[in-house]
Amino acid sequence: MYLLMNKFLFFLIIIFCLNSAVVANPNIQARTGILVDYHSDEILYELDPDSQIYPASMTKIMTAIIAFDLIKNNKLSLDDKFSISENAWRLSQAGYSSMFIMINDQVSVENLLKGIIIASGNDACVALAEGIAGSESNFADMMNEKAGEIGMTSTNFTNSSGINDPDNVSTVRDIAIMSKYLIKNYPIYYELFAEKTFTWDRTGGDPIKQGNRNPLLYKNVGVDGVKTGYLAVEKYSLASSMKKKDRRLIAVASGFNTKNLRSSESLKLLNWGFRNTNTFEISKKDQTFFDLDTWLGKKNKIKVTTKEDYHVTINKKDITNLTISLNYNGPISAPVSKGEKIANIDVKMKDKILKTLPLYAAEDLKKVNFFKSLLTSLNYLIWGDV
């Protein structure tokens, strides 16, 4: 067993964690909620996270994902324009949140996305759905297919906007999964969720400037998304994400009784997570390397790496109990082929193994020739491992 304490981890232990006080759970005033670390997927807080909710306008996250996916795969362009149907226009006249598009307007995908993400326009959702799939029903099928693909096991979408439909349902756990998928897979387009205003130069009237409905964007605390929601039957909801340096948390909660509680309680939850936990990068695929001793190889060391990224999130009070060790039967005998599994990383909390990560050779290791091998072996027999 070869023990290797990560120097960066040790530095963080000293600077941040030795005297940290951890408080009890934040007792969020909502019906259901969840707080997840973006990198480790560790659930830091949960309040009935699998209770069914009506996601309301948080549905629009998936509407945007479908468009982003098509753009990423060169099947749609931000410059493409869709003709606005009467069906879409009627939503702008029905008292719902709207972009205020007009019948037969030719509106770009980029403007429709801004109308959806920033202004929360239900009319823009229908226009985009019809433009992409021919009908909102067909588009909902695309949404559900994507939801299943990314692991949203308790969600059913029936429309693109989330407005009144008893069959349009989800959970805060699924909304968190969807939010992470959005942030991870479309980082450039995700920046739209942080924009505070959108001005639509509408047909037949003065331009309309609307602000983003996410209240946490205006507090300058590191929140850069994602989406609010409201239905009379569900009350207020919010999926939010906060980034501080290289760390990101995602909070989703629903059933807030007021707008103010939606804002204050979501912020309390995010701040609680940052204040009381830390996340550490243990390994990054093809970027984090460990050196292992070798035997009868043309090099004395061989580099190994993992085939996955791995982060661990723990309470600050527990940091001194965290250990990271390299576990292998060494030294490693040559020859070794690149990609061959030859060791493990064990991540432990006290005596409990949190994760075992296999390590693979990042390079070939050739064996020395016969005479060098013989000399090395004789030297070991005479002098030992010196």
> Is 57 assigned a catalytic role?
yes
CA angle, 357 then 363 then 367, to 5°: 115
How far is the C-alpha of 289 from the C-alpha of 310, rounded, in Å? 13
CA angle, 153 then 159 then 161, to 5°: 105
Dihedral angle computed from the Cα positions of residues 238, 239, 244 and 246, in that order, rounded to the nearest 10 degrees: 180
User: Burial, 295: exposed, middle or buried (Cβ in 10 Å; 0-12, 13-18, 19+)?
Assistant: middle
Note whether 30 and 265 are within 8 A (CB). yes
How far is the C-alpha of 339 from the C-alpha of 365, rounded, in Å? 11
Kindly report the number of other CB atoms within 10 A of residue 149's CB atom: 10
DSSP 369: P
DSSP 274: H
Identify the active-site residue in 40, 60, 160, 170.
60
SS3 104: coil
Structure tokens at 275: 């204040």
Partners of 295 in beta bridges: 333
> Is 135 assigned a catalytic role?
no
Structure tokens at 215: 């209240």
Identify the active-site residue in 57, 160, 179, 283.
57
Identify the active-site residue in 120, 161, 241, 283.
120
Task: Locate the DSSP E strands across the chain.
Answer: 2-3, 32-37, 43-47, 81-83, 106-108, 197-200, 208-211, 223-231, 235-244, 247-256, 277-283, 290-295, 301-305, 310-315, 322-327, 332-333, 341-349, 352-361
> Is 60 assigned a catalytic role?
yes
Number of H helices, E strands in the chain: 10, 18
Element containing residue 373 per DSSP (H, E): helix 370-383
Where in the sequence numbering do the catalytic residues fall?
A: 57, 60, 120
